[in-house]
Amino acid sequence: MDGDASGVEGDNCDWNSEDEREIDDFSLSSSSSLTPPNEETVTGSGEASSSAGSSNSKLFDKFIGMGFTEKMVAKAIQENGEDNTDSILNTLLTYSTLETSPQEQQHIDSDNYSLDCDGSFLDGFSDVDSWSDNEEITNTVFDEDNKLSSLMSMGYTRDEASIAMERCGLNASLVELTDFICAAQISKVEDAHLPVEEKPRPKLPCIVSAKLKKRKHAKLTERIRKALEDYDGEPPLRVQKYVLDECRKWNLVWVGRNKVAPLEPDEVEMLLGFPRNHTRGGGISRTDRYKSLGNSFQVDTVAYHLSVLKDMFPGGINLLSLFSGIGGAEVALHRLGIPLKNVVSVEISEVNRNIVRSWWEQTNQKGNLIDLADVQQLNGDRLEQLMNSFGGFDLVVGGSPCNNLAGSNRHHRDGLEGKESALFYDYFRILDLVKNWSNVS
């Protein structure tokens, strides 16, 4: 866009509108020092230059309000033009990444990040990345009210800002908050184009552990390391609280001096009482291992409750395992020394069925393992056939899905009428069939 084009657009604009006056008031303190990105093309006409400066002020204020420097914004607009805001933002993010070297980080910390900072929105905001890394630890720049007012000054509603601060946490930086709001706005637009009925929603497991969530642990662990290395002796209480809260929230463990790391699948197996490499191999991905372990009970706890069966069934046991998962009940009985004569395992996940089958073969079980995919297909005829073949079941165990009962499920918390949690009724249906067969026989 050249100066003449800006002038033509200016003739059709209402320069006395409330929006323009609000923009002029907001940028009054910085407009005198701004250099329009198209300065070379507008210097020929004073009127055109004035129009271009006014039309650019809103765009300048938008990116300056996001924390980028005036020089950086002017350079990005000059390279990409005024109409392509996405390209301008990508260029600004690239500039910020290139500028965050250790030397510049130290310079910014010493010049702009005084611990006595008064919390002004634009003061000390010359580098977004360094601000993001330090704000969560020092907590001396912005408080909750300042962040809320800053987000509202960018054009976001109070509800959007409040929700972002609630979801991201009070220690989240402005960059993280704006990213969250933008992502939420995009999600609403895309969701509006889906059919009203049967909109896809995430299916959350009964046990939701933070270690199963996708997160860039590397950046978090690096922030924790820096927070602790800033102090030779014992860190202040606020830093101690920050570190302990993050470790507890994301299941981080200490692996060295000032070093934390997320739990590995092998470590989760050990904590849950499963054999080493229980979920490993057979083409099972790392993500599937985390997911399978996240839906499991602690084996030692299960074994404690089943330990009374050891003297009752010294010669072995016939087991009906509903919603088997990765075989927690089977592993517990094996650890107690109770032989597994016949096991009917019902589990819908093929990954979990493969894990149980692999464990069965590796432990050289002498009995029979029959695995079924769907509990709803286990009707009376099929169940009677199985019980007649080996004389009925001695033990029925199972834990039906509780997706629609979990507090973390904000989309389909339908109780026992939900699609997954309704399988609870199948558990009792099958249990009654087993009891009736036993009484008749």
Instruction: List the chain pLDDT tens, one digit each, 441 residues.
Output: 444 444 434 444 444 444 444 444 444 444 344 444 444 433 333 444 444 454 567 777 777 777 778 888 888 888 888 777 777 877 887 777 666 544 444 444 444 444 343 444 344 444 444 444 444 444 444 467 778 887 887 778 888 888 888 888 777 787 788 878 877 776 665 444 444 444 444 444 444 444 444 455 678 888 888 888 888 888 899 999 999 998 888 888 888 888 998 888 899 999 999 999 999 876 788 888 888 888 888 999 999 999 999 999 999 999 999 988 899 999 999 999 999 999 999 998 899 999 999 999 999 999 999 999 888 888 889 989 999 998 889 999 987 665 444 444 455 545 545 456 667 778 878 888 888 887 754
Q: Within 13 A of 94's CA, how many CA atoms are on the CB side?
A: 9
pTM: 0.48
Beta-sheet pairing, 340-346 with 317-322: parallel
> What's the CA gap between 107 and 120, in Å, rounded?
20
Neighbour tally for 86: CB within 10 Å:
8
What are the residue boundaries of the structural domains of the chain, listed by start? 3-98, 100-192, 210-263, 286-440
Q: Dihedral, CA atoms, 85, 86, 90, 96, nearest 10 degrees?
A: 40
Beta bridge partners of 253: 261
Does the domain at residues 286-440 carry the CATH identifier 3.40.50.150?
A: yes
Tell me which amino acid residue 251 is: N
Q: Is 402 marked active-site? A: yes
